[in-house]
Amino acid sequence: MSLDDVLSRIDADLSDATDRLIDLLRIPSISTDPAFAQDCDRAADWLVTELSGMGVDVSKRPTPGHPMVVGHAGSGGPHLLFYGHYDVQPVDPLDLWDRDPFDPVIEETPKGRVIRGRGSSDDKGQLMTFVEALRAWKAIKGDWPCRITFFFEGEEESGSPSLVPFMKENVEELKSDIALICDTGLFESKTPAIVTMLRGLLGEELTITAPDKDLHSGMYGGIAMNPIRVLSRIIAALHDDTGRITVPGFYDGVPELSDELEAQWQGLAFDHATFLGDVDLSEPAGEQGRTPLEMIWSRPTCDVNGIWGGYNGDGFKTVLPAMAHAKISFRLVGTQDPLAIRESFRAMVQAALPVDCTVTFQGHGASAASGADTTGAMFEQARAALSAEWGVPAAYVGCGGSIPIAGHFQQITGTEPMLVGFGKDDDAIHSPNEKYDLESFHKGIRSWARILDAVS
Ligand code: BES
Ligand code: ZN
């Protein structure tokens, strides 16, 4: 039985594979919200049942947070580890969804058929691409292509608090020749891509307090310190007029693009007008003097992700608030040190506080940027396999998002990560009406079958 037989099997099984994905998408495994802890557990159970049905020696492994799913199958050849995450982002704002986020359907759209639902692209649909590829392989060939480890996480969207301890405790079990991570996208929604660099992420939440209670702004306005005004000034000062971030020492470890990467990225001819136009924007708003691809792949950023305080209800209230809050994240590149930046950011905020104000901080995850060493033979084998499936040469690209486990594989198990995914820019990951194209799902499954054939 040949690769073509496996590919035909995948084609014939697509409708059943889609039904299975829809089943998984019905489980609201929102990892960040404790109210959905049981659902995370159910999603892990679902994967255990699915994999054991395929003959994988698999179990749900408890952690202080949501469980991991670890499975082993096959022997001989290279040892491949597959990583994906079964948890999803919260769905709010719910009123912007056109349907129940956890009642997925196949929808006809002008651009083709899509599977609509939370987690369809990030990351349940992607995770299932390699499960389905292996299912077809096993069904047709009667055996596994080589030694395979499945490693599925349920806390990726909430900062992976249990991941590093779990990897350290199970380091021997999780060692492999390569870690295949399916949690990224195609380049410009049409070119298959292997991600060679990911940004790191530092999250900070701060609360500035001034008066000891909310006050009447008629009685106290003018004489009393307003913490929202203080917070606004601090936030406004985080960028200078050229878009550079002003936290002292922030740019330590930020490399300039190598000539080789610059040439590679120029060859990609990224169409930033379309990229921005698709979300109703027109002008790149990052650091002056940087190209659009640099802005999203190789430059660090600072974004305010949330800001609140005072009265936000309907109507109006002349309140002088006691507190002001913000959630701020930094995307990191090169060898920027998340903990040093956290310290410097906190010191900068402290130094900017006027008298009578206090600040408290809560850290939310700190991971450094990572890059893949693409010199191993499997990278070119995978690239050829992807090019064959998609009919265009696969590209080596950057990714502005963060997948902290890529760096953990290098540091803890000594494994090189290979990041291949099939998401499209308009999948609306983390947003209302998330979808995954049926084409991504179908050709994603076929891509893994080709990659398995090429590397095993
Ligand atoms: N799948 C994404 C990473 C991603 C983002 C890939 C954008 C391609 C484009 C991943 O699940 C994710 O969202 N990661 C979080 C980090 C995490 C620590 C919360 C992110 O990048 O914000
Ligand atoms: Zn995500």
pLDDT in tens, 56-77: 999 999 999 999 999 999 999 9
Q: Which domain holds residue 164?
A: 3-198+369-455
What CATH number is attached to the domain comprising 343? Answer: 3.30.70.360
Domain co-membership, 108 together with 217? no
For residue 33, the domain's CATH number is: 3.40.630.10
Q: Which residues 6+ apart lie within 8 Å of 133 measured at CB?
A: 10, 445, 446, 447, 448, 449, 452
Co-location of 191 and 338 in the same domain: no
Residue 112 covered by a domain: yes
Give the phi and the psi of residue 55 in degrees, each rounded to 5. 95, 15
- Regarding whether 20 and 156 lie in a shared domain, the answer is yes
Are both 355 and 395 inside the same structural domain? Answer: no
Task: Provide the CA 84 distance to its chain's centre, in angstroms.
Answer: 10
List the residue whose alpha carbon is closest to atom 5 of ligand 1: 401
pLDDT digits (tens, 9 = 90+) for 301-357: 999 999 999 999 999 999 999 999 999 999 999 999 999 999 999 999 999 999 999
Residue nearest atom 9 of ligand 1, based on CA coordinates: 401
87-117 burial, b for 16+ CB within 10 Å, e for fewer?
bbbbbeeeeebeeebbebeebeeeeeebbbb
Are 317 and 406 members of one domain?
Answer: no
Question: Is 268 a member of any domain?
Answer: no
Considering the domain architecture, whether residues 90 and 222 belong to the same structural domain is answered as no
Show Cβ contacts of residue 361 under 8 Å, excluding neighbours closer than 6 positions: 204, 205, 206, 346, 349
Q: Domain check: are 343 and 385 in the same one? A: no
Q: How many domains does the chain have?
A: 2
pLDDT of amino acid 30? 98
- pLDDT computed for residue 67 by the predictor: 98
Euclidean distance between the first and final Cα of the chain, in Å?
A: 15
Residue 1's pLDDT band, with cuts at 50, 70 and 90, is confident
Quote the pLDDT of residue 166.
98
What the block records as the tokens of 57 is 């020696």
- pTM (2 d.p.): 0.94
Ligand nearest to the CA of 159: 1
Q: What are the DSSP calls for 340-376, one per residue?
A: HHHHHHHHHHHHHPPTT-EEEEEEEEEE--EE--TTS
178 and 215 in one domain? no
Residue 118 buriedness (CB in 10 A; 0-12 / 13-18 / 19+): buried
Considering only CA atoms, give the Rg of the chain: 23
The answer to the question of residue 9 being in a domain is yes
**Which of 312, 338, 367 delimits the end of a domain?**
367
185 Cβ inside 6 Å of ligand 1: yes
For residue 106, give both structure tokens: 């196949």
Q: Is the CB of 31 under 6 A from ligand 1?
A: no
Q: Which contiguous run of DSSP H or E holds residue 398?
A: strand 395-399
| Residue where a domain stops, chosen among 367, 391, 423 | 367
* Per-residue pLDDT tens over the stretch 408-440: 999 999 999 999 999 999 999 999 999 999 999
Are residues 200 and 438 in contact, defined by beta-carbon separation less than 8 angstroms? no
CA–centroid distance, 392 to ligand 1, in Å, is 26
Residue 365 clears pLDDT 90, i.e. is over it = no
pLDDT value, residue 269: 86
